[in-house]
Amino acid sequence: MRIVVIGATGGSGRAAVAALLERGHDVTVFVRDPEAVRDIADDVTVVRGDVMHPDDVDAAVRGHDAVVVTLGISENPVRVRLRGPARTPIDVRSRGTRNVVDAMRRHGVPRLVVQTSYGVGETHGRLPLRYGLMFRILLGPQIADTENQDALVRDSGLAWTLVQPVNLTDEPAGGTATATVDGAVTGWHVSRGEVGKVLADAAGNGSYLRSTVAVS
């Protein structure tokens, strides 16, 4: 399959790209700065653009079979909460995903897989108290935007899957993540590598169609 990854320079995006390549897919990465993916440029098609610009997204999505979205803000969350992000709009998740959805509809691209976060949408209210407080106090504006993103995907009319990992780590992807559609989790940390595998499988084989998948 031809699959484009939106947000390919982040940890989960890179993990998804690696897993897609391992599964033999033809992968396109959509990035603002091609230098950020120079280490994998020989293995993928690199398309330069900004997810906040609809024309850029349109050009990237056209001709693909599926889209994986792993948008987020990589800056220090305390700084973002106090001053706002310096490089990425606070509503990058919802506005960027809206541009992706619109482009997919125009070009008849059916399959959409989006990483959001455990504790929004269908898993709202299921976080332990300590994480719920962190969401509200430290990540409030980002979580509000993720809620908007989550709702937008579910209302898109596309063949969607929402992937909701618990707290992400950079541990090696040596195990097997637990993926459930009922919101159940087996722990509160999961490696980005394992999440990448779930994203790749959902995009590549159509699993978890129109479901929210909790990954732990």
pLDDT exceeding 70 applies to what percent of the chain?
Answer: 100
Residue 3 phi/psi, 5-degree rounding, is: -130, 130
pLDDT tens digit string along 50-72? 999 999 999 999 999 999 999 99
pLDDT tens digit string along 153-199? 999 999 999 999 999 998 877 777 899 999 999 999 999 999 999 99
2-215 has CATH 3.10.690.10 classification? no
Q: What is the CA radius of gyration of the chain?
A: 16
Can you list the positions of beta strands (E) in the chain? 2-6, 26-31, 45-48, 66-69, 111-115, 159-165, 167-169, 179-180, 189-191, 211-215
Q: What is the dihedral of CA 10, 123, 152, 189, to 10 degrees?
A: 0
pLDDT tens digit string along 80-126? 888 889 889 999 999 999 999 999 999 999 999 999 999 999 999 99
What tokens appear for 201 in the block? 């499988």
Domain boundaries of the chain, sorted by first residue = 2-215
On the question of pLDDT at 79 being above 90, the answer is: no
